[in-house]
Amino acid sequence: MTTLRQLEYLLAVVDHGSVTEAAAHLRVSQPTLSQQLKALERSVGTLLLERTPRGVHLTPAGRAFLPGARHALSGAQRATGAARAVAGMTHGELHLASVLSVTLGVLPSVLASWHQHHGLVDVVLHEYADLDDFAASMTDATADVAIGPLPEDWSGPHHPLGEEEVVAIVPPGDALHSRRTVRLTELAARRWVLYDSAHGLAATVQHLCSQAGFTPSAAIRSRQTAAIPRLVAAGLGVALVPANILTPDFPGTVLRLTPRQRRALAVFARPAPHPLVSEFLTLARDSARLLPHHLADLLDTRA
C-alpha cells in the first residue's frame, strides 16, 4: 500500500535530483530512502525512477504519477494543518443546535462574543421548532453543541444559562395597556395569535391555557416565532411568547403572568467534547443574556 511517507520521499528525490541530497534534506539514511522508493514502486507495479550515472530521472510512468503524488501529499498536509488549527481553536467549523426562540433572543450575544474570540471558526446553525428534533440533533451528532432546554437525564457536560420567561402580549391600545401583570383566565375570552402545531411552543401555550381552564380561540396561527409579536401588534389578538424574542420597538403591552411561567435553558454537549466545543460551552455560559434590558424592570426576579 502506498503511504504518504513514500510520496514525500519520491518528491524529495525529484526536487533535489539525487538520492543523496534528498536523504540529507529528509534527515534519513540513503538505504532507508532507497528501500521506501522500491516499496513504492512495488506498490504501484512499475518503475517510477531511472537511476543513471548523471542522477535520478522520472520514467514515463513516474512523470504520469508525479502530479497525483504532489496533489495527495499537499492535500494531506492541508488536512493535517486544518485539524491542528481546530485543536488550537483558531480555525474550523462548529455545528450549533438551537430552538427558534433561542435563535432570536439568546444567540446574538453568544455568537457576537464567539466571533470576537474565534472569528475564523465558522458556526453552522441548526434551528428546530420541535423539541424532540432539537434533542435528536445532539444524540445523532448532527450538532456539536446545543443551546435550549436540557434533555432529561443528559449525561454530557452542560452549563445552566438561566430561565426564559413566558409573557403575555396584547395589541396597542388594549384595555390592559396600563397593567403590568395578568392572569391567563383574564384572557380566556380573547382571540389568540397562536403558534402552528408544528412549533415547539404550541404545546407550551396549549398546556398553560389548559391549566387555566380554557382552550385558546385562534385568530391566526404561525410557524414563525418572530411573526407572533407583529401579528399581535397588528391587532389580531393576544399571545404568549418568550420575553427574550421581544424587541424594544414592540408597540403593544407586555404583561408578566401571574403566576410566573419560566423554562430553564442550558448549553450542552456530548461526553468527552472536543476542545473547541468545551470553549463554546464556557463562552456561552459567560455571555448568554436571557433577560432583555428593556424588560428588566418588568421581569425583575425580585418582583
Q: Could you list the residue range(s) of the whole structural domain that residue 131 is in?
A: 92-162+265-290
- Alpha-carbon span 302 to 79, nearest angstrom: 53
Pair (109, 26) in one structural domain: no
Please tell me the distance from the alpha carbon of residue 6 to that of residue 73, in angstroms, as a whole number.
10
Same domain assignment for residues 229 and 107:
no
Verify that 113 and 136 share a domain, yes or no. yes
- Is the same domain home to 142 and 222? no
In terms of domains, do 146 and 232 share one? no
- Same-domain pairing of 79 and 170: no
Please tell me the total count of domains within the chain: 3
Q: Does 257 share its domain with 273?
A: no
**Domain finish residue from 48, 71, 87:** 87
pLDDT score at 90: 55
Residue owning grid cell 514502486: 41
* Domain co-membership, 129 together with 270: yes
What is the number of helices (H) and of strands (E) in the chain? 10, 11
Separation of alpha carbons 51 and 59, rounded Å: 10
Contact predicate 109/161, CB 8 Å: no
CB-CB contact of 147 with 98 (8 Å): yes
Return averaged pLDDT per consecutive 10 residues of the chain, 303 residues in all.
Answer: 83 84 79 86 88 80 87 75 58 87 88 86 89 92 94 94 94 96 97 92 94 97 93 98 92 96 94 89 90 82 52
Q: Is 114 part of any domain?
A: yes
Please say whether the dihedral angle defined by the alpha carbons of residues 138, 143, 149 and 150, taken in this order, is positive or negative: positive
- Out of 87, 113, 143, a domain closes at 87
What is the rounded CA–CA span in Å between residue 89 and residue 85?
Answer: 6
Residues sharing a CB contact under 8 Å with residue 82, sequence separation 6 or more, in sequence order: 91, 92
Do 68 and 98 fall into the same domain? Answer: no
Give the contacts of 228 (CB within 8 A, at least 6 positions apart): 193, 195, 222, 239, 241, 245
pLDDT at residue 184, as a whole number: 97
Q: Is residue 302 part of a domain?
A: no
Question: Any idea what the CATH number is for the domain that residue 107 is in?
Answer: 3.40.190.10
Q: Are residues 171 and 152 in the same domain?
A: no
30: Cβ contacts below 8 Å, ≥ 6 apart: 19, 20, 23
pTM of the model: 0.66
Radius of gyration of the chain (CA): 31
Are 144 and 226 contained in the same domain?
Answer: no
